[in-house]
Structure 1
Amino acid sequence: MASTDVDISTLTEAQQLALQQVTSVTDQDLASAIPLLQKCQWNAQIAITRFFDGDADVVDPVAEAARAPPPPSTARRQETLLDSIPARSLQRGRREAGLEPAPRIVPTPESQLTQPLPFPLSILVLPFSLTYTIFQRIFGAVGWAFPFLPRLLSRLFSGATSRPSRDAGRRPLSPRDTAARFTREFEEEYGVTHGTLPFHEGGYAQAFDVAKRDLKYLLVVLISPEHDDNASFVRETLLAPELVEFVSKAENNIILWAGTVQDSEAFQVANALNATRFPYLSLIVHTPNVSSSAMSKVATSAGPVTAQELIAKLQAAMATRQEELGRIRAQRQEQQATTNLRREQESAYERSLAVDREKARKRKEEEAVREKSERETREKEKQKANYARNLAQWRRWRAQSIALEPGPDVKDTVRISIRLASGERVIRKFAADSGIEELYAFVECHDLLEEVNEKESPKPEGYEHVYSFLLVSPMPREVYDLEKRGTLKERIGRSGNLIVEKVVGEEDGDEEVIED
């Protein structure tokens, strides 16, 4: 539910006008009216209809308000100024045009019409209530036995032109349910299939609003079962094929709303439309020559009438209003076309803006990926350069510390034949107590042994050398790695024949390549 903490001064002029209309019609307080208007997108007509129909939870007011075309700004300004025009001016305009006003009738809920008596007072009036009930049952039995008596008394006391009367015994329902009940009873009583006549499925106020919004004709049919002409009118006129076809044609733009005066809503509509004779029909339509929001009766029919006469009267009334309605429809279509064009332009602009944003985002991502790749490449090149520089310095430093080959006078030696990775074979003697790392260092620095000068080369700081090869005995195959400590004599013996196998790193596929 929408929040009710709304400052009235912060509302726009149109919202304040809608709030004033809703509170004046529904007699709601602000705490209840504001949430209803917010739910109905500040559409006063829909909010009033939903309040009295009691179907705000069944029908989505937001979707209904969204489907309703927004009124033009000029119409809103005229309707606001309309409140300051005296009622006599509007009545004079209707008299000059020969029209009668058609008010918008919203039925009062039955719960607001009658209030239950307090318990002590109900005990006091209980004897009178019982007496009234007994006499009512007696007169009801007499009326059932002699049906002509109620009609005779009605004619004697009310005269020839009687006002409509309602049946207080009928259960009061919401306007939508009342319309459904009338349609069901009508079809059952006269034996017609559902949909023969396109009765409006909502209340009178809703049909009134739809006719006003869509510039359609509202044909109101009021019947009274107490009148003798009711049944013949329905069978011979209302259900006549030509009238059914005329009302059902889409090009005639007719909304058919019907009711029986036994129901509260139809009873109130009959009183508001000054219906004194039944069956009663009234054609209501928007009349802009009176005011920008006026709805007027352009044709009425009371009492029996043939289908041909009724159709002729309706066609004549519709012909006189066709030009005005056509002009207003053309204006609304032009305004709607302008609105649609503006929306399409805004939508195209938003799509173009979204495409530009997507391109900018992709370009930014590509630039970020390219910069990252370039940065990683520079880092790798820098690391390679540092590694190459440290490796060269380490090799010069390690070549200086390799012991010279023992002379012929040294008996305890180990003779090793090594085939290098380049294919060159080197035979050299090592001291028997030399470690296996000495042999690896010899192979690593072999090409620098002859170039060692007297100037000492320092060991590179922070560099840990890792040999990229293994020394392997071919037959039988045995790897002499650095993990196993020991002297050359202990590991190899007096002599040995070794080959150098290059160890390929991760960048080269984590594979070992044996060079023979």
Structure 2
Amino acid sequence: MNHSSLSEEQQNTLAQFRSISNTNISDSDIIVFLGRNNWDLELSLIDYYQVYPSRQTFLNHYTERINNSSMNGNSNRPNTPNIFNRIWNFAGYQALSDSENGGTSNMPGAFISEQTVHPSKLYKLINNSAYYVMFILILPLVFLFAIFKALIYFVVNKLFPVVSKLVGLDNNSSSRTYYARKNLTNPTERSRRFIYEFDEFINNKPLVDIQQQLPPPTEYIAVNDSSLMEIQRPNFLECSYTNALYKVKKECSWLMIYLQSDHHEDKATFINEILLNKQFLKFLQEKQIYIWGGNLKESESFQIADTFSVNKFPFLGLLTLTVDQIPTSTGSNTSSPTLSLVSKIQGVPYKYFNPQNMTLNINKVINKFNRTYERQNPTLVSLRTEHEQRERERNLRLEQDLAYQRSLENDRRREQERLRLIQQHEEEERRSREAEEKAARNQEQKLKWLYWRYQNLRPEPDMKKDDKKSFARVAIRLNNEKRISRLFYKDCKIEEIFAFVECITNDIPNSINSEDSFIKPKDYNHIYKFRLMSMLPKEELKLSYDEEICNNKLVYPNGNLIMIEPEDDE
């Protein structure tokens, strides 16, 4: 990949890699590290330090070695006088400097040294002599350990062959490849990994036409539908063994479990002759048998093998629900159904092989499981029928309970609506009653105020006795088209005209008794709801409790007013 074809983010990652590692390798080599780690800077640095040891780690190693040599008298160097101690330390320092510069500076990606120091001849002599002495002392111990190990392997393989198969102490154990893997705690992930490794073992791949439908690459990709694979295989359940048992017990169906060991010599034969056989796959499909697989390297599979006392691998077992007849004094009772192992195959069944061509007669294997199936299936069918009947009854009760709850909820809602309407009606009646009472009180207060105000109107001036300039003549057209005219003293307030119109409109002069005496009601403020307009000029007479009539040109010395009610404004 060219440096110019990298994106801006990739170029920044490349620069950070070189800045952190302080390496002198080319950009193309750094791009190789970043590319195979999906451009993850942290993983790429870890990968780089695994390939090229860092200078600091190398320096700390030799520094610790020199310090330990100087502190312990019985260390790798002999007890010598001070002059020889100084020679030893000087030789060690030169060796350290040489390891830093000459030993690693020529390696790709190593740190550049600041100075070049060559080891002394004395250090080389002492160092080589120490290696020879250690080799002569350790070599006999190595031979003794190898002989003891071979003896233990021989005894275990001859006396306990099953143990050697389980723990991998067979002859092929030396060819095993140990690798670090992530400990998956999710049962679904463990099942998916088993399916992935199974497909990898049989070299199974998805069909070409579904490659675009697969998810992006992850640690383990397992296609559970065997119809989408090149090689037809059993459809293993992607769940834990406990979940598989729960599924089978809930559906009253069959379950076949398959256990294998990666280091068993019959694994390939068992898979090719039985699990991948088309007749066996057709048997599983026709009988609707679930299958679950596990590897002995997982603790769950090992516990299953211990539960069923498996002594040979690979192992194939058929599980279903069974009932027992328990005799009692009154007859026999049927126990509750339990999942039991009703048929199994441990290891490769060589007794089913054809002696002529040494091929497995798959019909015998299928007949073994089919006989068990035909014997146990009637009981399972009756249990499934009872279970379905119980489920129907339970669903019916559930539906009835739900319908009853809905009916109760509807009744409760209707009752709440009825109570709400009653409360609303009562609230409206209460408000209407309060409004009527308030209106009646206001009307009574208003009437008392009008009586009081009419009695307190200043008498009309006498035209013969009073000076004409001391009063004003005001003509008013009421809302009933009636015209009235009255004289007002010029020192009266404008409010006097409004009070007179209010009293005349409410017919107070005809309903009041002149002999009665009225007082002003407390806590009552009268509001004049009408307006008085002047004809010429057309202008409104503003209500005022302070302005005198003589100061308003609309009514003094003469005025012509029109009474306007609020509805007239609209």
Q: Which residue of the partner structure matches residue 235 of structure 2? A: 198
Which of 135, 143, 152 is matched with 2:146 structurally? 135
1:445 counterpart SS class = helix
- List alignment gaps of at least 5 residues for structure 2: 1-137, 170-177, 206-222, 227-233, 326-334, 353-360
Q: Which residue of the partner structure matches residue 464 of structure 1? A: 525
Q: Which residue of the partner structure matches residue 475 of structure 2? A: 417
Provide the C-alpha distance between the structure 2 equivalents of 1:417 and 1:436, rounded to a whole number of angstroms: 14
Q: Which residue of the partner structure matches residue 254 of structure 1? A: 289
1:421 counterpart SS class = coil
Provide the C-alpha distance between the structure 2 equivalents of 1:450 and 1:281, rounded to a whole number of angstroms: 119
Q: Would the alpha carbon gap of residues 199 and 484 (structure 1) be closer, same or farther in structure 2, given more than 3 Å must change?
A: same
Please report how far the alpha carbon of residue 325 of structure 1 lies from its aligned counterpart in structure 2 after TM superposition. Answer: 0.9
Which of 485, 490, 493 is matched with 2:546 structurally? 485
Q: Which residue of the partner structure matches residue 221 of structure 1? A: 258
Deviation per CA, 1:29-82: give whole Å up to 9, x if none.
Answer: xxxxxxxxxxxxxxxxxxxxxxxxxxxxxxxxxxxxxxxxxxxxxxxxxxxxxx
Deviation per CA, 1:215-269: give whole Å up to 9, x if none.
Answer: 33222334456655432332132201121232244xx242323345565554554
Provide the C-alpha distance between the structure 2 equivalents of 1:415 and 1:267, rounded to a whole number of angstroms: 122
Q: Which residue of the partner structure matches residue 168 of structure 2? A: 167
Deviation per CA, 1:396-446: give whole Å up to 9, x if none.
Answer: 332223333322121232222221221111122222322222222222223
Deviation per CA, 1:292-332: give whole Å up to 9, x if none.
Answer: 25433322334334322222221211111111111111222
| Contact 1:198–1:248 under 8 Å retained in 2 | no
Is 1:234 aligned to 2:271, yes or no?
A: yes
Q: Would the alpha carbon gap of residues 192 and 377 (structure 1) be closer, same or farther in structure 2, given more than 3 Å must change?
A: same
1:459 counterpart SS class = coil
Q: Which residue of the partner structure matches residue 15 of structure 1? A: none
Which of 412, 415, 439 is matched with 1:360 structurally? 415
Is 1:295 aligned to 2:351, yes or no?
A: no
Provide the C-alpha distance between the structure 2 equivalents of 1:387 and 1:263, rounded to a whole number of angstroms: 93
Provide the C-alpha distance between the structure 2 equivalents of 1:353 and 1:484, rounded to a whole number of angstroms: 67
Please report how far the alpha carbon of residue 207 of structure 1 lies from its aligned counterpart in structure 2 after TM superposition. Answer: 3.3
| Contact 2:493–2:545 under 8 Å retained in 1 | no
Q: Would the alpha carbon gap of residues 427 and 309 (structure 1) be closer, same or farther in structure 2, given more than 3 Å must change?
A: same
Q: How does 1:332-371 map to 2 (within 5 A)?
A: 332-371=387-426
Please report how far the alpha carbon of residue 342 of structure 1 lies from its aligned counterpart in structure 2 after TM superposition. Answer: 1.6
Is 1:308 aligned to 2:363, yes or no?
A: yes
2:434 counterpart SS class = helix
Deviation per CA, 1:439-465: give whole Å up to 9, x if none.
Answer: 222222234436654312313522322
Provide the C-alpha distance between the structure 1 equivalents of 2:474 and 2:271, rounded to a whole number of angstroms: 127
| Contact 2:258–2:291 under 8 Å retained in 1 | yes
Provide the C-alpha distance between the structure 2 equivalents of 1:512 and 1:261, rounded to a whole number of angstroms: 99
Q: Which residue of the partner structure matches residue 449 of structure 1? A: 509
2:293 counterpart SS class = strand
| Contact 1:164–1:271 under 8 Å retained in 2 | no
Is 1:386 aligned to 2:441, yes or no?
A: yes
2:319 counterpart SS class = strand
1:200 counterpart SS class = coil
- List alignment gaps of at least 5 residues for structure 1: 1-126, 141-149, 505-510
Is 1:404 aligned to 2:459, yes or no?
A: yes
Which of 501, 506, 510 is matched with 2:564 structurally? 501
Matched letter for residue 350 of structure 1: Q
| Contact 2:448–2:521 under 8 Å retained in 1 | no
Matched letter for residue 232 of structure 1: T
| Contact 2:168–2:263 under 8 Å retained in 1 | no
Matched letter for residue 244 of structure 1: L
2:256 counterpart SS class = strand
Q: Would the alpha carbon gap of residues 271 and 367 (structure 1) be closer, same or farther in structure 2, given more than 3 Å must change?
A: closer
Provide the C-alpha distance between the structure 2 equivalents of 1:450 and 1:262, rounded to a whole number of angstroms: 117
Q: How does 1:88-103 map to 2 (within 5 A)?
A: none
Cα-Cα RMSD: 3.5
Q: Would the alpha carbon gap of residues 231 and 470 (structure 1) be closer, same or farther in structure 2, given more than 3 Å must change?
A: closer
Corresponding pairs, count? 366
| Contact 1:473–1:498 under 8 Å retained in 2 | yes
Q: Would the alpha carbon gap of residues 403 and 166 (structure 1) be closer, same or farther in structure 2, given more than 3 Å must change?
A: same
| Contact 2:449–2:521 under 8 Å retained in 1 | no
Matched letter for residue 317 of structure 1: T
| Contact 1:415–1:495 under 8 Å retained in 2 | yes
Matched letter for residue 298 of structure 1: V
Matched letter for residue 474 of structure 2: I
1:299 counterpart SS class = strand
Deviation per CA, 1:191-212: give whole Å up to 9, x if none.
Answer: 2244331123344444344434
Matched letter for residue 288 of structure 1: V
Matched letter for residue 461 of structure 1: P
Instruction: Please say which structure displays the higher CA radius of gyration.
Output: 2
Q: How does 1:44-193 map to 2 (within 5 A)?
A: 135=146, 156-157=158-159, 164-167=165-168, 176=187, 178-193=190-205
Deviation per CA, 1:326-364: give whole Å up to 9, x if none.
Answer: 111122222222221221111111111111111112222
1:327 counterpart SS class = helix
Q: Would the alpha carbon gap of residues 380 and 202 (structure 1) be closer, same or farther in structure 2, given more than 3 Å must change?
A: closer
Q: Which residue of the partner structure matches residue 5 of structure 2? A: none
Q: Which residue of the partner structure matches residue 43 of structure 1? A: none
Provide the C-alpha distance between the structure 2 equivalents of 1:451 and 1:157, rounded to a whole number of angstroms: 135
| Contact 1:166–1:262 under 8 Å retained in 2 | no
1:406 counterpart SS class = coil
Q: Would the alpha carbon gap of residues 132 and 187 (structure 1) be closer, same or farther in structure 2, given more than 3 Å must change?
A: farther
Provide the C-alpha distance between the structure 1 equivalents of 2:324 and 2:417, rounded to a whole number of angstroms: 59
> What's the TM-score, normalizing by structure 2?
0.56
Provide the C-alpha distance between the structure 1 equivalents of 2:146 and 2:562, rounded to a whole number of angstroms: 131
1:283 counterpart SS class = strand
1:285 counterpart SS class = strand
| Contact 2:259–2:294 under 8 Å retained in 1 | yes
Q: Which residue of the partner structure matches residue 73 of structure 1? A: none
Provide the C-alpha distance between the structure 1 equivalents of 2:485 and 2:186, rounded to a whole number of angstroms: 114
Matched letter for residue 477 of structure 1: K
Matched letter for residue 497 of structure 1: N
With 320-329 and 406-415 compared, the bigger mean Cα shift is at 406-415
Q: Which residue of the partner structure matches residue 248 of structure 2? A: 211
Q: Which residue of the partner structure matches residue 102 of structure 1? A: none
| Contact 2:156–2:164 under 8 Å retained in 1 | no
| Contact 1:167–1:262 under 8 Å retained in 2 | no
Matched letter for residue 409 of structure 1: K
Provide the C-alpha distance between the structure 1 equivalents of 2:312 and 2:365, rounded to a whole number of angstroms: 16
1:165 counterpart SS class = helix
The structure showing larger relative contact order (alpha-carbon pairs under 8 Å, at least 6 residues apart) is 1
| Contact 1:175–1:204 under 8 Å retained in 2 | no
Provide the C-alpha distance between the structure 2 equivalents of 1:452 and 1:265, rounded to a whole number of angstroms: 109
Is 1:280 aligned to 2:315, yes or no?
A: yes
Aligned-pair identity in percent equals 28
Q: Which residue of the partner structure matches residue 54 of structure 1? A: none
